[in-house]
Structure 1
Amino acid sequence: MKNKLSNMMCLDLFLDSLSKKNYKAIEHELITSESTKYPLLNFGLFADNFSTAMSKLNRENDINTVKEFASKYNWNESLDQIFKNEDFEAIVLTNKKQEIIWVNDGFKKMTGFHKNYAIKKTPSFLQGSKTCEITRETIREKIKENKPFAGTVINYRKNKTPYKCEIKIFPLFSKDTTHYIALEKAV
Structure 2
Amino acid sequence: MSTRRLLAVAVLTTSAAVASTAPVAVASTPPAAVAPTKGHSNTLTCSISTASRGVSFNPPLRLQRRPTAITATLALRDCRSPNGRQRHLRSGTLRVRGAALAGCTGARDLRGTAAITWRDQHGRHAGTSRLASQPGTQVRSSLADALLASRVTSGPLKGHDARGGIIPRGDLLRCHNQGLGTVHGTGRITFA
TM band (smaller chain): 0.3 to 0.5
Of Structure 1 and Structure 2, which has the larger fraction of its residues in helix?
Answer: 1
Alignment TM-score, normalising by the size of structure 2: 0.35
Alignment TM-score, normalising by the size of structure 1: 0.36
Relative contact order (C-alpha < 8 Å, sep 6+): which is higher?
2
Pair member with larger Rg: 1
Of Structure 1 and Structure 2, which has the larger fraction of its residues in strand?
Answer: 2
